[in-house]
Amino acid sequence: MPKLELFTGKKEIIIAVLLIASISMAIPAKVAQASPTIFTFSDKTIFLAATGATSATGPLPNLGQIPGGAAATQTVGNVTFSLSPPSSALFIGTGGAADWTVRLPGPDIGISDVENLNMDLASPVFSLGFDFVKPQTDPNVNAAFGNSTFTVTLKNGATTVDSFNFSSPSIAFPTDTADFVGVWSDAAFNRVEIRETVGGIDNEFFGQVYTGIAPPGGPVLTLFLNLTKTPDKLVAHPGETITYSYDVNVTGNGQGGAASVTDNKCSPSAVLGVDGFNIGDTVSKGFADAGEVWKFTCSVPVTTCFEHPIFNNATARVGTNFTGVVASSASASVACTAQPPVGGEILGVDSTSLFVAGALTNAGLIIPIVGVVAAGIIGFGLRKRIK
C-alpha cells in the first residue's frame, strides 16, 4: 500500500503537500499508484489547510492518571484513548498545577513505559493528525533521551488500511520543539495505533488530535520555480575562471523536496549555511517551501576562446507529490576574447616584451638599433628625391 513521498531521503516522515485536483492525476514515476494511497505531513498548517481537519478533542483536560493501569481508557471529544503492552499507565495532564511539558500548549498525554497509544474514533475519517513532542531539556521534565521510531497504523475495524513511520529526533522531528504528525488517506479509517518500535523508556508526549472527513482530491496546491543565473564577469579571457551564481526562487502555496540545479558546463553545488543545509532553506529543512530562495554556485575555467561567446544553460528542479517534478531553466552568455598585447610593437617586434623578457641589460642597444633603422628609412627617401 503505497505512500506518496517527496524525493528526498532526509526525513523519516514525509511532509505531503499534495493536493491534486483529482486523485487520478498523473503520479511521479517513482511512486506506484494503487488504492489506498496515503499522504503524510509534518507541517500542521499545511495539513489543516489541505484536509479541512478540525480538532477532534479540543484542548485536552487535566485529568491526571486514568484509572485502570495498562487497561485504562479515556474518551475526550470524538477520540477514545487506550494503551497496548508494554505501556502500563495513561496520563492526560498531570492532574496538578504543572504540565508534563511546556513545548505543547495545555495538558498533554503521557504514558508509562514505551509509548504504545491507541486512538478509536467516533466515526470513520479520512485524515488525522496529532501534536507531538520529544523533550530533552524541557524545564518541567527530567527527560531521559534516546532515539525513537514510531509506526502509525490506520485501521477500519479490524482491517488495516495502511501504515507509515516517523522518527525522533530527526530533521522533521527535532527534540524540544512542538512537532506534528498527520496523515490523509483515500480510504476511511476509524482507529489509529501508534507503536514505539525503536526506543526505550524515555519521554514523548502527545497533544490535541485533529480529524477530517474529506477524502483527497479537493484543494489544489501549487509550486513554481524561477531560476536566475548570473556570471561574475561579462567578458572572459583564456586562463581566467567564470563563476556562476544560481538563485532558485520558490513561489506558490505548496512544498516540495530539496531543490537541485544542473548545468551543461559544470556541476553546481549548494551554498550551505552553518546548519549544513542550503543557505536559502529557511522554513522546513530539506524541503523547498514557497518564499524560499535556494542558492547554488559553480566555476568554469576558460582555456580557449574556441567557443565565443561562452554559453551554457542550467535547470532547477524540485520533486512534489502534486504535480511531479517542477522545473525552471536559465541561460548565461559570456564574451570570450584573447588577451590584448602587453605593449606597442615596433617593426613587428613587441618592444615591451623585450623588457619583460629580461632585456633590460641590453636596453642601451635597443634605442640605437631603432634609430639606425629609422635613419635608413629617412635616407632612402631623401635619395629618391635627389635623383
Three-class secondary structure assignment of 345-365? EECCEEHHHHHHCCHHHHHHH
Task: Kindly state whether residues 133 and 195 are assigned to the same domain.
Answer: yes
- Asked if residue 241 and residue 176 are part of one domain, the reply reads no
Do 165 and 54 have their domain in common?
yes
Of the three residues 184, 212, 240, the one that is the final residue of a domain is 212
The predicted pLDDT at position 170 comes to: 65
Alpha-carbon radius of gyration of the chain:
34
Any domain includes 118: yes
321 and 270 belong to one structural domain: yes
Going by C-alpha positions, the residue among 316, 325, 314 that lies closest to residue 256 is 325
Residue 313: its H or E element: strand 310-319
Q: Is residue 184 part of a domain?
A: yes
- Percent of the chain whose pLDDT exceeds 90: 41
88 class by beta-carbon count within 10 Å (0-12 exposed, 13-18 middle, 19+ buried):
middle
Residue 355 DSSP SS3: helix
Write out the three cell numbers for 194. 501508534
Q: Which domain holds residue 174?
A: 3-212
The CATH number covering residue 240 comes to: 2.60.40.10
Question: Are 126 and 257 members of one domain?
Answer: no
Task: Tell me if 69 is assigned to some domain.
Answer: yes
Can you tell me whether residue 237 is helix, strand or coil? coil
**pLDDT reported for residue 38:** 87
Residues 62 and 182 in one domain: yes
Q: How confident is the model at residue 368 (pLDDT cuts 50, 70, 90)?
A: very low
> Are 187 and 301 part of one and the same domain?
no
Average pLDDT of 89-112?
85
Domain stop point among 295, 321, 336: 336
pLDDT band at 148 (very low <50, low <70, confident <90, very high): confident
The span from the CA of 387 to the CA of 382, in Å, is 9
Angstrom distance (rounded) from CA 98 to CA 116: 24
First CA to last CA distance, the chain: 108
* Whether residue 167 is found in the same domain as residue 315: no
Q: Per the structure block, which three cell numbers stand in for 201?
A: 523508556
Whether 322 contacts 272, CB under 8 Å: no
Q: Which three cell numbers stand for residue 122?
A: 467516533
Cell 504504545 belongs to residue: 116
pTM, 2 dp? 0.51
Q: What is the largest CA-CA distance in the chain?
A: 134
Quick one: 156 and 252 in the same domain? no
Does 373 fall in a domain? no
CB 255 within 8 A of CB 292: no
Q: Residue 368 falls within a domain, yes or no?
A: no
What does the alpha-carbon distance between residue 372 and residue 107 come to, in Å, rounded to a whole number? 104
Residues 39 and 110 in one domain: yes
Domain end position, chosen among 159, 184, 212 = 212
Residues 298 and 234 both lie in one domain: yes
Looking at the structure of the chain, the number of domains it has is 2
Q: Is residue 387 domain-resident?
A: no
Whether 329 maps to a domain, the answer reads yes
Query: Is residue 46 scored above 50 in pLDDT?
Result: yes
Least confident of 164-168, 197-201, 231-235, 264-268: 197-201
Calpha distance 316→95 (Å, rounded) = 53
User: Do 158 and 238 share a structural domain?
Assistant: no
Q: What is the H or E stretch that residue 345 is in?
A: strand 345-346
Is 384 part of a structural domain of the chain?
no
**pLDDT, the chain, mean:** 76
